[in-house]
Chain A
Amino acid sequence: MPAPERAAAGWAVAGFVAFVGLWALASGWIARPQVFPGPLSVAATAWERRLDLVDAAGRSGLRVGVGWVGASALAVPLGWAAGAVPPLDDELRRFTGLVRSIPPFAWLPLLLLWVGIGDTTSVLVCALGAFFPVLEGARTGSSQAPPALLHAARNLGASPARVLLAVRIPAALPGTFTGLRTGATFAWMSLVAAELVGADGGLGQLILDARNLARPDLAIAGMLCIGAIAWSVSGVLHQLERGARRWGVA
């Protein structure tokens, strides 16, 4: 590990230790474990209910994964095309300006009415959450491909299709990864909200059930799970993004 990354990892561990310490102090001071359990009792619950947590995380992860991948499969090519063709971009903005301003969660009542409670609704909410950030990242990356490189490629005899594949898309990768990462975060946030309203299992359901059963320890375990998953996915995508940046336009 290079020195800056070692330092960053050190700070992350220190932050985590400080967080757990403060949490333990606060819960000890409040001294009402049935309302605000400490880290130890949450850890014990998490271990005891590990199968439920893994099952819930699996269901949630699958919904987010399908929604995010589906949305990205549509948004990435569309964003690349829009970034390459300004009139298409203007048209797309006119067309989506209103829709993109609606939070994905606001679609839920309508989706529940049309599709009902179930995986499809959750997947659609995730897809809605992911779509516009991914579109925006891909579009920005593609529209900011350096004109000098596009000119050089055409000058060397590349066809428009080849300019797109060999120059515009490589140049768009860093921006695209930023969009994918933001999209994943949005999808995950939208999902938990959707599951809180109604779904068959999943981490959102798990923390809602925990509240109904008056089990704050389980709710906190579920919340930590949500945070940990989102954090690691974002971390992985961040590494990919940095790789693309190093490799791509400096």
Chain B
Amino acid sequence: MIRVRGVSRTFVEARTSARVPALDGFELEVSRGEFLAILGPSGCGKSTLLRLLAGFDRADAGLVEVDGAPVTAISPRRLLVSQDPALFPWLTAAENIGFGLRAQGRADPARVEALLVEFGLAGAGGRYPRELSGGMRQRVALARALAVRPDVLLLDEPFGALDALSRESMQALLEATWLASGATVVLVTHSVDEALRLADRVVVVSPRPARVVGSVVVESARPRRAGSHPELRERLMGWAVP
């Protein structure tokens, strides 16, 4: 269970010393095992929120709590797949995917191989990140995160660089993995359709400083067809600020 209470985070611009409040009194709760999608305009503070949840960054004020304990450090139980894939450039795709397992002393080449196949990267395991396309890099980053089976998966626009078809298959893969693992997922996305396709609940946040302006629960059975829920789509679009 994730609990975010009155969280503020203000950045100071290096050149002008201007204060940039990314979050101001932000409130959010996510139940254990829930799939939550966050929609919001660019630059409103979504990545900042995920970085706080992952422990990459610290709030200036407020409470960030996971399973009853405040988040004070980075932990492999809460895995962030950042907007920029941050792959290790000196490791191959397969070595990147196996990094977490190796670091935790449970190297598992068979699992790495299986993930490569699942993520449509069979045959690319020996390539270095600079030899992969943007979409392939995102898939490696997601596979690298899933390899360690985190309790909480924080996804920052993981499918942004994918074409429509592989996006579709990655969504299906993510949904299947989530259903099998019982993990809690917080997905930041720019796509209303993606949010409605995957999430149990979708929240819309305001321009910076981010604040939840609306929330809908999506109750229909999975797997969902693309373009279902026109009425929810309408409501979400209504909250969106152009």
Contact = CB atoms under 8 A, between A and B. Distances in A.
Contacts of B100: 156-158
Interface string A161-174: 01000110010000
Given A157-B100, A157-B148, A162-B103, A151 B79 contact: no
Contacts of B78: 155
Contacts, number: 58
A159 B89 contact: no
B103 A249 contact: no
A152 B82 contact: yes
B148 A248 contact: no
A170 B89 CA distance: 9
A145 B89 CA distance: 12
A205 to B, nearest CB: 44
Contacts of B99: 153, 156, 158, 166
Interface in A119-155: 146, 148-149, 151-155
B56 A170 contact: no
Contact of A156 (B79, B84, B90): B79
Nearest to B55: A155
Interface residues of A, number: 20
Interface in A25-49: none
Interface string B68-109: 000000111011101010101110000000011001100000
Name the residue in B82, B86, B104, B144 with the highest tally of chain A Cβ atoms < 10 Å from its Cβ. B86
Interface in B139-178: 144-145, 148
A77 B130 CA distance: 29
Given A156-B148, A158-B100, 12 more contacts: A148-B86, A149-B88, A151-B54, A152-B82, A152-B88, A155-B74, A155-B78, A156-B100, A162-B103, A166-B99, A167-B88, A248-B89
Interface of A: 146, 148-149, 151-159, 162, 166-167, 170, 247-250
